[in-house]
């Protein structure tokens, strides 16, 4: 296939899959076979494109140019390739998990679920490969709208309320701030395409750089920088496969990916530092890291604790962008991948606990590790990677972020990272500790009260958890190709792990 054909195929394949899912809605087995086939083909395409991209091939596609200088266009660069590789591979794993979860939990409206899921992945690929801010904004909004029915999936009042919060915050920030920032950039430069080194230097008075960057930072609500983070905990009413991929990978990572993209390709790291645009805003990321961690410690609901953990971890990536150093950018980009594999493992485990034992609160899981040992082993692996312990992949991204703070001379920010890691230990490792070593207590009339064993979740759930947890270990010993792609974003070489 030509480069253009491959690029077009990766954008259209999930949409074709969505159509196939709708057409086979009366046969669940065929419908799910379509889902798995589409996800497998997409994963294969992403890997093929990544190999050809790293071999030096260029991928450029312009669909339409409604007005001079503004086009719906796509071009693959290193950061977008990294993001697409993560999302593409994890859609396949999540599809395997979703089949076991949706059947085991007897979820309704499964055809709508799989259809919206596929459309969301198409939007994610569009974001990853956008060649300019106009294209990125279109697919950014498409992702918000496509995931709304997934958040509201349960149809309960709580789900509808959470979905309204989700939609309101994300559309409000993107239209109120993000779109305004794009228009300001267009008026100043006459262009909105992505260029390594940025396009604003020489066009924007450095004194106004902090204001424009703030419009981008808070307008990209999917990055969940406080105070525009409420949508993420509210979205935890969604089924766990949604929380796992869209809120541990696609949606939230679309946000921090866009922050990195704007930093490197619109502002440029040199202009960020010389203008001082990062001096104040970097503390918004630091405050989010610590405050979200403290809130997470006080959450008894497992998914809400993981949600606030995600709010904190996303700001690690924002911090890397705002450091605007080679190591900071590399660490932030690497954290997109390392956090994705670790956090999706934790959400998979949370869903497995729900399906097998009907438990949602951390206070209910004492002794459950004896009945679900594999689930809590996988949870421990994911938690250790989030914390940044060796031998797990999350260590590398946190290592380079720490190097970035030293490169920038920001000792206080290094302290923030260290304190946050200690808080990670406190609110994550306590969960498997309670499961394995806590005394089991009958809770609410479920199986425990009758002396029944819960057992593990369906096999497909365990397989998915095994794959992502093993990936956390594998990425410690071999962080390629994510390290190579992340290194291409930096302006100077950084020593390899």
Question: What contacts 24+ positions apart, CB below 8 Å, involve 404-408?
Answer: 404/320, 404/323, 404/325, 404/326, 404/327, 404/328, 404/329, 404/330, 404/331, 404/332, 405/323, 405/328, 406/327, 407/323, 407/325, 407/326, 407/327, 407/328, 408/323, 408/324, 408/325, 408/328
CB 215 within 8 A of CB 277: no
Question: From residue 450, how far is each of 108, 360, 456 by CA, in Å?
Answer: 28, 19, 18
Q: What distance in Å separates the CA atoms of residue 367 and residue 364, rounded to the nearest whole number?
A: 9
pLDDT band at 107 (very low <50, low <70, confident <90, very high): low
Number of domains in the chain: 1
Domain annotation covers residue 290: yes
**Model confidence over 278-327: pLDDT tens digits?**
888 999 999 999 999 999 999 999 999 999 999 999 999 999 999 989 99
Q: What are phi and psi of 241, to 5 degrees?
A: -60, -35
Give me the pLDDT at residue 156, please: 80
Domain annotation covers residue 104: no
Give me the pLDDT at residue 85, please: 95
pLDDT band at 447 (very low <50, low <70, confident <90, very high): very low
pLDDT, average across residues 31-48: 93
Domain annotation covers residue 409: yes
Burial class of residue 422, CB neighbours in 10 A (0-12, 13-18, 19+):
exposed
Q: 377 is in which domain, residue-wise?
A: 276-497
Beta-carbon-side half-sphere exposure of residue 44 (alpha carbons within 13 Å): 8
pLDDT, average across residues 206-210: 90
pLDDT band at 445 (very low <50, low <70, confident <90, very high): very low
Domain annotation covers residue 369: yes
**Model confidence over 332-352: pLDDT tens digits?**
999 999 999 999 999 999 988
Q: What distance in Å separates the CA atoms of residue 33 and residue 39, rounded to the nearest whole number?
A: 10
The per-residue pLDDT of the chain, averaged, comes to 89
pLDDT band at 6 (very low <50, low <70, confident <90, very high): very high
Domain annotation covers residue 158: no
Domain annotation covers residue 346: yes
**Omega before residue 125 within 30° of 0, cis:** no
pLDDT, average across residues 208-234: 92
Instruction: Single out the residue of 53, 205, 30 nearest to residue 111, CA to CA.
Output: 30
Q: What distance in Å separates the CA atoms of residue 128 and residue 333, rounded to the nearest whole number?
A: 13
CB 465 within 8 A of CB 345: yes
Q: Which residues pair with 61 in a beta bridge?
A: 74
Domain annotation covers residue 9: no
Q: What distance in Å separates the CA atoms of residue 111 and residue 245, rounded to the nearest whole number?
A: 17
Give me the pLDDT at residue 104, please: 67
Predicted model pTM: 0.92
pLDDT, average across residues 93-114: 80
Give me the pLDDT at residue 1, please: 78
Domain annotation covers residue 112: no
Task: Look up residue 233 and give its two tokens.
Answer: 């905990």
């Amino acid at each position: 296939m030509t480069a253009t054909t491959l690029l077009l195929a990766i954008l259209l394949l999930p949409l074709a899959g969505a159509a196939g899912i709708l057409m086979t809605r009366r046969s669940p087995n065929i419908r799910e076979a379509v889902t798995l086939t589409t996800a497998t083909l997409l994963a294969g395409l992403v890997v093929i494109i990544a190999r050809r991209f790293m071999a030096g091939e260029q991928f450029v596609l312009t669909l339409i140019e409604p007005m001079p200088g503004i086009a719906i266009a796509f071009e693959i660069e290193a950061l977008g390739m990294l993001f697409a590789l993560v999302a593409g591979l994890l859609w396949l794993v999540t599809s395997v998990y979703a089949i076991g979860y949706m059947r085991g939990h007897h979820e309704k409206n499964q055809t709508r679920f799989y259809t919206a899921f596929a459309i969301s992945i198409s939007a994610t690929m569009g974001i990853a490969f956008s060649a300019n801010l106009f294209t990125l904004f279109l697919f950014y909004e498409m992702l918000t709208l496509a995931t709304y029915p997934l958040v509201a999936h349960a149809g309960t009042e709580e789900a509808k309320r959470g979905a309204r919060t989700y939609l309101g915050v994300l559309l409000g920030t993107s239209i109120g701030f993000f779109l305004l920032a794009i228009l300001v950039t267009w008026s100043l430069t006459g262009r909105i395409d992505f260029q390594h080194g940025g396009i604003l230097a020489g066009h924007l008075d450095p004194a106004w750089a902090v204001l424009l960057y703030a419009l981008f930072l808070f307008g990209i609500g999917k990055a969940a920088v406080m105070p525009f983070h409420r949508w993420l905990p509210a979205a935890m009413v969604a089924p766990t496969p949604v929380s796992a991929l869209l809120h541990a990978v696609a949606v939230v990572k679309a946000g921090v990916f866009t922050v990195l993209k704007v930093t490197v390709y619109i502002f440029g790291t040199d202009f960020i530092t010389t203008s001082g645009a990062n001096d104040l805003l970097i503390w918004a990321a630091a405050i989010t890291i610590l405050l979200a961690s403290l809130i997470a410690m006080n959450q008894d609901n497992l998914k809400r604790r993981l949600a606030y953990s995600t709010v904190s971890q996303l700001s690690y990536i924002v911090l890397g962008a705002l450091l605007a150093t080679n190591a900071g950018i590399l660490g932030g980009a690497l954290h997109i991948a390392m956090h994705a594999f670790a956090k999706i493992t934790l959400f998979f485990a949370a869903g497995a606990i729900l399906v097998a034992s009907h438990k949602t609160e951390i206070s209910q899981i004492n002794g459950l590790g004896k009945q679900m040992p594999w689930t809590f082993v996988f949870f421990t692996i994911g938690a250790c990677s989030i914390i940044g312990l060796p031998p797990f992949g999350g260590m590398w991204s946190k290592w380079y972020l720490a190097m970035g703070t030293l490169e920038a001379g920001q000792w206080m920010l290094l302290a923030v990272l260290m304190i946050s890691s200690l808080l990670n230990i406190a609110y994550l490792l306590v969960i498997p500790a309670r499961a394995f070593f806590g005394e089991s207590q009958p809770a609410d009339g479920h199986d425990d009260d009758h002396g029944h064993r819960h057992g593990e979740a369906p096999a497909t759930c365990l397989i998915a958890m095994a794959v992502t947890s093993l990936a956390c270990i594998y990425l410690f010993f071999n962080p390629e190709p994510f390290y190579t792609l992340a290194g291409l974003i930096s302006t100077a070489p950084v020593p390899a792990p």
